Structure 1
Amino acid sequence: MKMNNPNPIEWRFAERAAHMQSSFIREILKITQRPEIISFAGGLPSSATFPVEEMKASFDRVLSTSGKTALQYGPTDGFPPLREWIADSLSTADCRIAPEQVLMTSGSQQALDLLGKVLIDEGSRVLVETPSYLGALQAFSVYRPEFASVDTDDDGLVPSSIDAVADGARMLYALPNFQNPTGRSLSVARRQELVETCARHNLPLIEDDPYGALSYKGAPFPKMLNMNPDGVIYMGSFSKVLTPGIRLGYVVAPLPLLRRLELAKQAADLHTAQLTQMVVHDVIKDGFLERHIPTIRALYANQCQTMLAAMTRHFPAAVQWTKPEGGMFIWVTLPPHIDAMKLLDQAIAAGVAFVPGAPFYANAPATNTLRLSFVTVTPDRINEGIAILGKLISALV
C-alpha cells in the first residue's frame, strides 16, 4: 500500500553537492541530437572507427573460453594480462614501467575523480592550463580546490609560468598532446622543461594522454612519464582508439600513490568490469591497434584539413584558429567584442552547434573563444556548417 505522506522529505544535501555543475558540453549535446543540426560540439570519436566485428568476436571468444571468470568479481587494480600489456606499451629502453604501477579505471574520467579524492583537500591549490579540459575541471571541482591558471601560448603550456604559483600546490594537470580544447601540443624541449620544473617544486605532474596516438603523421611525442616516472602520473584511455562505450581507462603512478588510488577505487566501485577488460585484452594483444589506429588517423586528418580549408574560405581575417597535427579539435579566437555564448544562440538557430570557450577556463574566461570538433561530421556537412558559421561571424566583425 502506498503511504500518503503530506510532508515530503526536505533533502539536506552535502555542501559539495551544492557546488556540482552539469557539463556545459553535455547540455549542448541534448540540442545536437536534432538531425538537422550540424554539430561541431561533441568531443566524441567517430563511430565509423569502432571495430564492431572484432569486439563481437572477442566477446564470443572470452565468454566461450573464460565465461565464468569474465562474469565474476575481479581484482581492484585490474585484469593482470591487460595491465602487463599497458606497462609494456609504455616502457622504453631507459624506463621500465611495472604492471604493479597500473590501475584500471572505468574510463579516464574515473581516474580524474580518484586523483581528486586522494590528492585534493578543500582549498588545495591545483594548477591547470589556460584553457584546460572541462571534464577535469568538473571532476576536481567536487573537492573544492583553488585553481591556479598556468600560462599557455601557441606552443601550449609555458613551463616558466609555473614558478609563480607552484608553492604549496598539490598537482599540475596537463594534456600535452593535441590538447582538448585547443589541439595544441607541447614540444619535446618544453616537455623536458616542464618535468624538470615540477620536480624542482616537488609538484606531481598529471600527464593526461587520450589523444597521443592520433598524430596525423604517425610520429608520437615522447611521454613525460618516461622522463620522470617517480614524479609523473600518466592517464590513458581506450575510448579514442577503440570505443568509448566500454568505459575503460587507466592510470599509471608511483606505487605509494597507486595504493591510495586503489583504496579509493575499492570504495567507489570495487573494480572495473572484468568482462570488458578481458575482451579489450583479447582484441589488442596481437597487435590490432597497430593496424587499426592508422585508419583513425587518416580519417581525422582528412576531416581536419577539410575544416581548416573551409575556415580559410569563409572566416573573416580578424578570426584566428589553431592548426592541429593530430587529435580532434580546433580552437578559434574571435575578435574581442564577440561573445561566443551569444554567437552560439544564433548558430543553433541557423542549424550549427559548437562549444563556447568560456567553460574551459578555471579563471578569467576568454568569452571570444570557441571549440570546433570535426571527427563526427562528413566533409560535405563540414563545408556547409563552416560556411554558415563564417557568415554569422562576418556579420559581427
Structure 2
Amino acid sequence: MMWKKGVALLFGLMLVATTLSFGKVMAEDTSVTVILVSDNEADCALAQYLANVTGAVVVTTTWGVYDPNVTAEIMSYAPDEVIIIGGPDAVVEQYVADLEELGITVERWGGQNRYETNLMVMEQAKLKFKLMFNNSVIITPGNDSAAIRAALRMAVRRKAMIAFVNDTSNITKLMLKLQLRNANVTIVQTPVMSKVMLHIREQLREKMNCNCTEMEVNITAETALEAINASEERITTAKEMLENVTLSPPEERLATRMLNLAEKELENAKDAYEMGRYGKAYGQAIAAKAHAEFVIRMASDRWSVEIQTNMTMRAEMYVWRLERQIMVMEKSGFNTTELRALVDQLKEAIKNGDYDAIDSIMQQIREKLLELYANGRGKFRERMVFPAHGRHGRP
C-alpha cells in the first residue's frame, strides 16, 4: 500500500519557536520516553507540551496512516517506553504491534476523539509525571489550529493545563474532571470560532461564576494559507488511501460524497484567500480537513481488516517495515547479515505463494530482530543526541 513516507521528529517545542540547547550523547542507562502522536493539531500540542516539561522525544505520524518509517524512527531511540497520544483513529493500532514485537512498553493515552484524549492526557500527566498545573487552565477550540498554537505557548509559560472544547462541551463537567476549582481561566480563540466560545463563556459566567481573561488570535494571510495547505495534504492522503482499499458500494458512495465535499470546501477556501477574506478561507479549510479525515478513517479501518485477512499483503508490509528497520540498525553498527538473509527468504516465499514458509520465516525474523534489538540497544544510544532540558521534571 502506498502510504506517505517520512516522519517529523520534534524536540520539545521546536514547532512553537522555543530554542533548545543540545546535550551530550545519551548514556546507555538513561531512561528514554518517546511520545508518538499524529499531526492532529490538538493531540500534537499536548505532545509538545509534555515534551517541553519532561524531556520526552516526540515522533509524529500522519493522522490515520500507518508508516513503517515511523516504527524505524522510534526504534532508533531505543526507548524504554512509548506513550501514544490519541486514539486508534489518529495513531493506528499497527504501531502498537510493531513496538511490542520489539519488547517496548507501550501506553495509549487516547479517547474516542480529541476532547476525550485531552482529558486523559491531562489526568495521566499528573499521575505519571507528577505535573502540577497551578490551578490554571487555557481553554481553546479543539480544531482551531491558530488558537491552539497560541494556547500552547501560553500554557507552557504559565504552567497551565490545556482544555479543548467545542460547541457541545459541558464546561462544568469538564472543570470537575480536570479537578479545577476557582481556577484561573484564559480563553484563546480566533474570530472564526466566536460562536463556539460564546457558548463556553456563557457557561463559565452562569455556572462557574468565573472571572476569565480572553485572548483573540487574528487570522492572517499566513495562517489561512497554512490551513489551506494542511487541508490539501489531508485530501491527497485520503485519495491515496482510497486507491489502495476496496470499500463496499455504500461505503464507496459515502467516501466519494465526503471527498467531493472536502474538495469543494478547499476550493471555497482558496477563492476566499484570493479575495483577502482570510477568516472565511481559514474556516473552510478547517471544514475540508475534517471531511478528508472522515474518508481517511474509513480507508484506514478497511486497510486494517485487509491486512489481517490477506497473508500476502501482511507479509509484504512486514518486509517493507523490516527493510526500514534494518537500515536504521546498520547505521548504528548492527550486524544484520543473518536478518537480511531471512528477509530474502521471506521475499522468495511471498513470490512463490508458500504460506507455510511465510509464516515460519516471519516467526524466525521476529525472534532474530528481538534478539538483535535487545542485545544492541546501546548502539543506538551511543549515537543519539538529545535535548539538554530536564527529563520528567515538573513544569
Normalising by structure 2, what TM-score? Answer: 0.28
More helix by share: 2
Normalising by structure 1, what TM-score? Answer: 0.28
